[in-house]
Amino acid sequence: MTYLTDKPKASITLSTLNKFKASGEKFSCLTCYDASFAHLMAIANIDAILVGDSVGMVVQGRESTLPVTVDDMVYHTKNVANANQHALILTDLPFMSYATIHDAIASSRAVMQAGANVVKIEGDGELADIVRVLTKNGVPTCVHLGLTPQSVNVLGGYKVQGKTQEQADKLLKDCEILVDAGASMILLECVPAWLARQVTQTFAVPVIGIGAGVDCDGQVLVMHDMLGVYTRKPAKFVKDFLKDDANKTGDILGAFITYHQAVKNRHFPSVEHAF
Ligand code: KIV
């Protein structure tokens, strides 16, 4: 099968996102797990695609992201990469696949060879050694802080993080340690908007937010959520772009285009989506 657009393959790189940050241009990111949706995202100019381990919940029907394997991530990354013609591809390393440096190297090799441009790992400053080794070996890392779904059993549920000054100070310190270790991007999930603003203003690397307010450099949503395909109650930060008034065609491509433009024009997220 050939894909239709005349766009060059994968025109967005990390340098593009760095330039967006420097110039104040926001960037859009959506999760994606297969070629057909990756193709539509290219037409909609979505800047970054996250092959998220949310695949476990929205595609595989699991209760959490914990059952997802490296093989799953390789499979879905290949599907997306085959059709990608525009976006930077970030792929999650799944639960316990980067518990040691040896595992982190093996898992990163697998997803990078499948087509990822960046690997995303969840945690805190303790990830510094892994970030350092991966960076040295040509693997850019996106560090995911705040609500880290792989630690749902430690956190005791999917709750907003960083609400106390002590937690906020720790998150800022963790970001500093990880950026110093070489992290190329930060993803903040479910943290207060003021804390996300501070992280975004403090660090030179692009910061992606989900439930992290309006001020992050980029925004990500789980694709199924922004298409209104819910299997559980949607979180406060979710918006259904299929039904959005600005989606003139009312179809899936229209939803992707509407989301991309809403992020670029700073219409999404709004205060009602923030904590
Ligand atoms: O796996 C995923 O979809 C994610 C997002 C929630 C950011 O990590």
Q: Do residues 208 and 185 touch, judged by C-beta distance below 8 A? A: yes
Interval 251-264 mean pLDDT: 98
Taking the CA of residue 54 as reference, the ligand 1 atom at the shortest distance is: 1
Which residue is it, tokens 């479910």? Answer: 190
The string over 202-213, giving b where at least 16 C-beta atoms fall within 10 Å of a residue's C-beta and e elsewhere, is ebebbbbbbbbb
Token digits of residue 164: 């106390």
Round to the nearest angstrom and report the end-to-end CA distance of the chain.
44
Instruction: Return the number of other C-beta atoms located less than 10 Å from residue 241's C-beta.
Output: 24
Interval 189-210 mean pLDDT: 98
Instruction: pLDDT band for 232, please (50, 70, 90 cuts).
Output: confident
Question: Catalytic positions, please?
Answer: 189
- Residue 25: pLDDT over 60: yes
Q: Do residues 10 and 87 touch, judged by C-beta distance below 8 A? A: yes
pLDDT at residue 160 in the model: 93
Interval 178-185 mean pLDDT: 98
Can you tell me the distance from the alpha carbon of 229 to that of 266, in angstroms, rounded to the nearest whole number?
24
| CA nearest ligand 1 atom 1, residue | 52
Quote the crossing angle between the two packed helices 101-114 and 128-136, to the nearest 10°.
50
Instruction: pLDDT band for 6, please (50, 70, 90 cuts).
Output: low
Instruction: pLDDT band for 229, please (50, 70, 90 cuts).
Output: very high
Q: Do residues 147 and 211 touch, judged by C-beta distance below 8 A? A: yes
Residue-level length of the chain: 275
What is the rounded average pLDDT for all residues in the chain?
A: 96
Residue 103 Cα to ligand 1 middle (Å): 21
pTM: 0.96
Taking the CA of residue 53 as reference, the ligand 1 atom at the shortest distance is: 1
SS3 for 120? strand
Instruction: pLDDT band for 4, please (50, 70, 90 cuts).
Output: low
Give residue ranges with CB within 6 A of ligand 1: 31, 50, 52-54, 92, 187, 189, 210, 220, 222
Which residue is it, tokens 């430690």? Answer: 154
Instruction: pLDDT band for 2, please (50, 70, 90 cuts).
Output: low
Please give the share of the chain, as a percent, with pLDDT higher than 70.
97
Can you tell me the distance from the alpha carbon of 49 to that of 155, in angstroms, rounded to the nearest whole number?
27
Instruction: pLDDT band for 7, please (50, 70, 90 cuts).
Output: low
CA distances from residue 38 to 56, 122, 215 in whole angstroms, order as listed: 18, 24, 26
Q: Do residues 120 and 90 touch, judged by C-beta distance below 8 A? A: yes
SS3 for 220? strand
Can you tell me the distance from the alpha carbon of 189 to that of 179, in angstroms, rounded to the nearest whole number?
17
- Residue 187: pLDDT over 70: yes
Interval 188-197 mean pLDDT: 98
Instruction: pLDDT band for 236, please (50, 70, 90 cuts).
Output: very high
Can you tell me the distance from the alpha carbon of 128 to that of 133, in angstroms, rounded to the nearest whole number?
9
- Residue 217: pLDDT over 90: yes
126 is in an annotated binding site: no
pLDDT at residue 5 in the model: 60
Can you tell me the distance from the alpha carbon of 96 to that of 4, in angstroms, rounded to the nearest whole number?
38
Tens digits of residue pLDDT in 132-169: 999 999 999 999 999 999 999 999 999 999 999 999 99
- Residue 3: pLDDT over 70: no
Tens digits of residue pLDDT in 101-130: 999 999 999 999 999 999 999 999 999 999
pLDDT at residue 231 in the model: 85
Phi, psi of 168 (to 5 degrees): -65, -45
- Residue 83: pLDDT over 70: yes
pLDDT at residue 92 in the model: 98
